[in-house]
Amino acid sequence: MIKIHKEGWGFLIKLFAFLLSVNVSLFYLYSFSSFAIFFLFIISFLVFLFFFQFFRSPKIIKTVDEKLIVSPANGEVVHIGEVFEDEYYKEKKLLISIFMSPFDVHINRNPIGGEVKYYKYHKGKYLVAWHPKSSTKNERTTTVIANNKISVLVRQIAGLVARRIINYSVVGKTVNQSNQLGFIKFGSRADIFLPLDFKPEIRLKQKTTAGVTVLGKLH
């Protein structure tokens, strides 16, 4: 049985009520042919099915190991490289970017266990998630988690379609590796900033699963 994420129930109920009212209203107000009514029903069903699968929350076997860094998002690796992180660290870091299409699970997870040292929400634009400036111009959140081995920064970035980022981080709170960090509604991106000496074990265009896929090991 498909489990729906808690962030999706309100939206899905409203969508179902809207589609039902449209179908019933058009059925009674207009003299549609049986084919037209059937076609409208199929379109409505497909629209609802699309959003239904978007909010799915599948069971996963979490990766929990203090020597590993796990992916914060489901999607495709679109960037691995050195950048200057100017919000929190104020220094060069290794950036791994993961693009989440509307067909990916949009639950974000903690790449490590530790204490939340920093959290901030930024209002912004809605450029396409793979745009180079989306990480600094789009609506986004920044979360820094640290333990006695490493400090990492995770940035949730809204995309062209996304209009709401959910983040469960609380500064000072201890979080467990691979547990939920948040949720982004519709297409978006997640960035993770790591030390420059971190050796990634993933490659560009590789598919990742949040809380499962290992990005690399600590040495």
For residue 102, is it within any domain?
yes
Q: Is the same domain home to 111 and 138?
A: yes
Q: What is the pLDDT of residue 136?
A: 65
Q: Do 112 and 25 fall within a single domain?
A: no
**What global pTM score does this model have?**
0.85
- Mean pLDDT score, 47-67: 89
Q: Determine the pLDDT at residue 135.
A: 63
Q: How far is CA 113 from the centre of its chain?
A: 18
The reported pLDDT for the residue numbered 128 is 61
Domain residue limits at 207: 68-217
Distance, CA of 97 to CA of 186 (rounded, Å): 17
Residue 162 clears pLDDT 60, i.e. is over it? no
Inter-residue contact 67 to 218 (CB < 8 Å): yes
Do 175 and 101 share a domain, yes or no? yes
In a domain, 61, yes or no: no
Q: What is the CATH number of the domain that holds 151?
A: 2.70.70.10
The reply to whether 30 and 74 lie within a common domain is no
* pLDDT range class, residue 120, cuts 50, 70, 90: very high
Evaluate whether residue 105 is within a structural domain: yes
Higher-confidence residue of 35 and 105: namely 105
- Confidence bin at 181 (pLDDT 50/70/90): very high
72 and 50 in one domain? no
pLDDT band at residue 103 using 50, 70 and 90 as cut-offs: confident
Instruction: Check residues 111 and 126 and name the one with the higher pLDDT.
Output: 111
Q: Are residues 80 and 180 located together in one domain of the fold?
A: yes
pLDDT value at residue 71: 98
Q: Is residue 96 part of a domain?
A: yes
Evaluate whether residue 163 is within a structural domain.
yes
pLDDT confidence of residue 96 = 97
Evaluate whether residue 2 is within a structural domain: no
Quick one: CA torsion of 213, 130, 150, 208, rounded to 10 degrees? 0
Sign of the C-alpha dihedral computed for residues 75, 196, 89 and 144 taken in this order = positive
Question: In the predicted model, what is the mean pLDDT of residues 167-178?
Answer: 96
- pLDDT at site 92: 97
Query: Does one domain contain both 102 and 185?
Result: yes
Kindly state whether residues 30 and 128 are assigned to the same domain.
Answer: no
Whether residues 180 and 121 share a domain: the answer is yes
Most confident range, picked from 30-39, 136-145, 168-177:
168-177
Tell me what the pLDDT averaged over the chain comes to. Answer: 88
The number of domains in the chain is 2
- The residues annotated with a catalytic role in the active site are 188
